[in-house]
Chains A and B, each alone.
Chain A
């Protein structure tokens, strides 16, 4: 019996046992990942995996299961899950699957070059390494990941849906010496849209500037954030709008719906229907159609991100962001500003240009107090010009202070995704006042 037939049988058997709601998603994923360092490929990895996600609702109880055994025994699964769900208590808020007839956007195909990436990816990586060395870089390290997933979904309301999702990510770091680094990343839905030349341009240019360091001095600065760090910061802002974060104490945006939380310059959009984005998804994990939405518009917090359950708790409608457990953004877009990139630096009399960060940790999520390590280029700006390279600095501030003090954004946005940015995030350069920089004495 095919896996699809087994899942259809499973849905019927659940219904025979009195299960009121069932959503079953089958994800079949191929991932090609190449890690390189010291100018050589360290390991190429190819993974094929299928995961079946089952969410069942019974007498206001709910259980979520993920398994990857494609030979599962339908009777055994049903018996085991019924036994488990009977041990659980009723949900505080229980929502049945809607029986509405929704309209869904069309399925986007995955091009052949992306699907067959393993044939040429090693040549691409060799090209990226060689081109970087030709630019005078001594050492490079990075990762390219090409992933495509076919999704099939069934619900107890009789829905059957399909989707095709794909993602390409390049993360590239250049070294001239230990502290002289430059890093950039790029993400796209298709390998043909991967602008690896831009990644080399940006990372090698920063790396060559990032020499002859002086120790950073603590203090308050006007800062120009590059898209690498700004994407990390904006991803945190978008996740703070998940209703899950709001109800569990992980959000500084709790209780601020409809209020001004940020500078008028800041508009943050979640756009799962952006066809160029690797975040493109036509329906969420509850089989609800996704939609584009403004989360923060000109500084006003317009909505939290919801699934069916959190929406009912918050007395609103789902935003198509399930997450069976926790709503999440699909594709984060910060609206561009009107500055050119050289103009935004010229705005700063004395300040910092910060390229990248990692290890962002909170002292207090509810208040937004955090710090993050700055890396891959911290530069002193004097009279509108990038001057000395610095090292040993940390941004130790508060998210509400940060988003309130955004003064200018550039015209071009860059798609960023890497270790520190899990969701595709499209951001410009940003000028932010009054940022607190700390150092070890």
Chain B
């Protein structure tokens, strides 16, 4: 494969490309879907191909093929060069110059997808399904989606970089519907996974968490009450939701391409402006949010990005101040700085874009009990179903699922579907304490056109925010 990628880069340079990169990707995915303890769908996918991006005169050009021979690769280069040259773009695209890297990153799981004992895994899910029904018979619809992925990538560019990644992924999503003819319907969806083999699902204690979900859903149905009065409450928010908050209202708006309008037609723009960098305080002193691809076993794990730049931990917000943006080589050049290794692509046929990896609020030193004991009148959000945020990442909503009323420092009864609808500014400035219980959630982050989903973790500890409007 290396020969074909070298050929592509040489051919592109011969035809006038000032920069060329070629990415080979070979991805195999096993999906199993279980409905009420039976396998509903078994699906195996295998995709491989090469994507070639060239920079010619003022324009990028991109082309891809799944036919992996010399003729097809040359044809692919020709298409990318031709369409780039046809572009009458006036302003010049530049990319930040970086040194060449050569490296190989293998994550070797204990059990690869094809050595795994699927029979045993299938039995475990069926057994779990039975135990869920024993704990809460009203969980009438139980769906589990398993995805096991093996991914090999070879990246080469005209700077001389050659980087190979082999990373496996496992992910298990559960979706429960609890139905009680008198008390109503509740639903819960949750994903967990990481860059590892099948054995990792045990480390994540998914069985324990799924059983706890079933039990709690039943209790919410039986005991949950609507919030009696909308109003200002102090709010304690679990890491399941603070992770989503860090991803949606910090990670996305800190993508430099979004700030500078490249995603304006789809994902939108940002409340962050370049002049805010290192100056503007948008959160309280206790709020620090980072993006870090170097967490082993995480879903957002990578060591070099898809432009051959080494990955590193980035502080996006530090003690409330806008600290650093997510950059690729193009946007680093626009800002006269260096890339921080944030370019990712879902598949060989996708252009690399500025993306998050593992985004989270850095933990503080409070226990959850300490966060709650200082609340006179509050709401404790532990989990959610519905959420959304506007395309400048300012106006957001979280529909609580497991949630409790807090009175005089004590957790009282279950609340049914309380809603936090708030702006990023209100939320970030109202945080007065951060817990030490950092945890991560699995997600698939969407961006670009065609939509590219990349695996990420988003995380955070429990936090406390003062005086937010709860409905």
Contact = CB atoms under 8 A, between A and B. Distances in A.
Interface of A: 33, 35-38, 40-51, 62-71, 81, 84-85, 87-89, 91-92, 118, 122, 126, 139, 141-143, 145, 171-173, 175, 178, 183, 247-249, 325, 358-367, 369-373, 375, 392, 394, 396, 418-419, 438-441
B88 interface: yes
B262 A37 contact: yes
Contact of A371 (B46, B118, B143, B386): B386
Given A66-B43, A67-B47, A438-B471, 13 more contacts: A33-B450, A37-B265, A45-B62, A47-B63, A48-B63, A49-B65, A92-B40, A183-B265, A248-B175, A358-B391, A371-B386, A394-B388, A440-B426
Nearest to A375: B391
Contact of A122 (B48, B87, B262, B417): B87
A47 B64 contact: yes
B42 A68 contact: no
Interface residues of B, number: 81
B263 interface: yes
Interface in B441-471: 449-451, 469, 471
Interface of B: 33, 35, 38-49, 59-68, 76, 79-80, 83-84, 86-91, 118-119, 122, 141, 143, 175, 177, 179, 184-187, 260-266, 268-269, 349, 351, 385-392, 395-397, 399, 417, 419, 421-423, 426, 449-451, 469, 471
The 5 closest A-B pairs by CB, nearest first: A359-B388, A441-B469, A249-B177, A141-B264, A363-B386
A370 B61 CA distance: 40
A360 B388 contact: yes
A47 B66 CA distance: 9
8 contacts: A38-B264, A42-B262, A46-B79, A358-B391, A359-B388, A361-B385, A438-B471, A441-B422
Nearest to B426: A440
A146 to B, nearest CB: 13
A363 B42 contact: no
Contact of A48 (B61, B64, B262, B423): B64
Contact of A359 (B141, B269, B389, B450): B389
B60 A42 contact: yes
A142 B264 CA distance: 8
A190 to B, nearest CB: 20
Contacts of A122: 83, 86-88
Contacts of B46: 65-69
Contacts of B38: 89, 91-92
Contacts of B268: 358, 375
Given A44-B87, A360-B388, A364-B186, A49 B264 contact: no
A364 B52 CA distance: 43
Contacts of B471: 438
A3 to B, nearest CB: 10
B351 to A, nearest CB: 6
B103 to A, nearest CB: 27
B449 A143 contact: yes
A64 B264 contact: no
A298 B426 CA distance: 45
Given A43-B351, A178-B269, A441-B469, A37 B261 contact: yes
B31 to A, nearest CB: 9
Nearest to A38: B261
Contacts of B122: 89
Contacts of A49: 49, 64-66, 349
A371 B471 CA distance: 14
Nearest to A126: B88
A440 B468 CA distance: 10
Contacts of B422: 440-441
B265 A361 contact: no
A429 to B, nearest CB: 22
Contacts of A371: 386, 388, 397, 399
A418 B419 CA distance: 29
Contacts of B44: 63-66, 81, 84
A45 B388 contact: no
A249 B143 contact: yes
A92 B35 CA distance: 10
B390 A375 contact: yes
A157 to B, nearest CB: 22
Nearest to A185: B265
B417 A46 contact: no
A85 B42 CA distance: 9
Nearest to A362: B386
Contacts of A171: 265-266, 449
A40 B42 contact: no
B115 to A, nearest CB: 13
A33 B86 CA distance: 14
Contact of B449 (A33, A66, A372): A33
Nearest to B270: A178
A118 B82 CA distance: 10
A183 B269 CA distance: 14
Contacts of B177: 249, 366
Contacts of A92: 38, 40
Nearest to B179: A366
B386 A361 contact: yes
A87 B83 contact: no
B72 to A, nearest CB: 8
B35 A87 contact: no
Given A142-B265, A247-B35, A372-B388, A44 B61 contact: yes
Contacts of B417: 363
Given A42-B60, A49-B349, A35 B421 contact: no
A88 B39 contact: yes
Contacts of B449: 33, 35, 143, 145, 171, 419
Contacts of A84: 42, 44
A41 B388 contact: no
A37 B40 CA distance: 43
A41 B47 contact: no
A40 B264 contact: no
A248 B35 CA distance: 7
Contact of B423 (A44, A359, A440): A440
A64 B261 contact: no
A367 B187 CA distance: 10
A375 to B, nearest CB: 6
B90 A89 contact: no
A394 B451 contact: no
A360 B39 CA distance: 29
Contacts of A40: 89-91
Given A325-B41, A366-B179, A440-B422, A68 B141 contact: no
Contact of A67 (B45, B79, B90, B390): B45
Contacts of A438: 397, 419, 421, 471
